[in-house]
Amino acid sequence: MKNTPTPRQFETTVRKALDRLPIVDLHTHLFDPALDSMLLWGIDELITYHYLVAESFRYLDLPYEKFWLLSKTQQADLIWDALFIRHSPISEACRGVLTTLHALGLDVKKRDLPAVRAWFAGQRVEKHITRCMELAGVRKIYMTNSPFDDLERPVWEKGFRRDERFPAALRIDPLLVAWPETAARLARWGYKVDATGTVPYTP
């Protein structure tokens, strides 16, 4: 058959179609910009991602307890030096950081962390989010929202102008894994609960 595509042509066609398909990310720990400091972004947040923290301890001669006492910037400095300067960044997590910086137009070959920090410091968060979503082809980002988070709950109770690109997803882990403590909190908030049982009381 003359019009039958070759395997390579078929693969190319499928890849092009997928590249044009808008993505909905169903599980993230990102937040609507209105939640302010709970939206973690910037180079130090990228570098201190927990996979990179774990990887860096293959090389760091530092107790865990002392590492967590350091500022975010100090932690990022240590990880950057260990994984991007003194060793080749070949892990998937390291490659993710470099891919992100490259997509944003930054020269990763220079390995200049202060310059990268200065670039991020010059970005406006709303425009930066829009650009990142466009580059990634992402249309919506589902948050992970906990009513038991003492920083997050007051923002929801007060109300704020929502960014429609960030749908909410309720996190109920404390109801399932820490019911006695969670029941006590619900009771303080005025809900009728059975703190001695393993499931919430249904009126």
Chain segment 38-73, per-residue pLDDT in tens: 999 999 999 999 999 999 999 999 999 999 999 999
pTM, two decimals, is 0.79
Which SS3 state, helix, strand or coil, does residue 162 take? coil
In the chain, what are the domains? 22-171 (1.10.2020.10), 173-203 (no CATH)
Report whether 38 contacts 152 (CB < 8 A).
yes
* Closest to 85 in 3D by CA, of 117, 47, 49, 119: 47
Report whether 201 contacts 192 (CB < 8 A).
yes
Report whether 80 contacts 157 (CB < 8 A).
no
Give residue 16's pLDDT band: very low, low, confident or very high (50, 70, 90): confident
